[in-house]
Amino acid sequence: MANSISTTHSSHSTSVTATGEQMNNLVDLYIAVWNETDAARRAGLIAEIWTADASYRDPLMQGDGHAGISQLVAAVHERFPAFRFSRIGEPDFHGDHLRFSWALGLDGEEAMVKGTDFAVLEHGRLRSVTGFLDQVPA
């Protein structure tokens, strides 16, 4: 199923057709960013899928721009070494909005943390992500 994504830039708007496969790929790359421990490789992934002025917000942290987002990821690796993110289910999208769920835990074990992120897209790239924590350890 294809959805039409309308994005506004300056005073004009453009419309592109996004497919479920494209949104799956975008979410998979987003998860790859959070799993990447090498700062240079992570920076390349961030530049590929986030706009330059992107922002990330969740109840525990926030970051702006590519460097700020990379610092957030590094902080998660420091706090949860050897933990990995994985996608839960299929992303849902309409217009320039994307919703998907994820899990964080050790490989082969039940995830300790689960969440849902809501993204705003611009020309097929992440402009902003707002994360919600659905399950956290007691």
Phi/psi of residue 136, each to 5°? -130, 155
Residue 128 C-beta-side C-alpha neighbours within 13 Å: 7
Beta-bridge mates of residue 78: none
Q: Which residues of 70-79 are buried (b: 16+ CB within 10 A; e: fewer)?
A: bebbeebbee
In order of their start, the domains of the chain are: 2-135 (3.10.450.50)
Structure tokens of 73?
Answer: 């990821």
Residue 17: per-residue pLDDT: 59
Contact 66, 55 (CB under 8 A): no
Q: How far apart are CA 70 and CA 48, in angstroms?
A: 13
Q: pTM for this structure?
A: 0.86
Residue 33: per-residue pLDDT: 98
pLDDT in tens, the chain (138 residues): 344 343 333 333 334 457 889 999 999 999 999 999 999 999 999 999 999 999 999 999 999 999 999 999 999 999 999 999 999 999 999 999 999 999 999 999 999 999 999 999 999 999 999 999 999 998
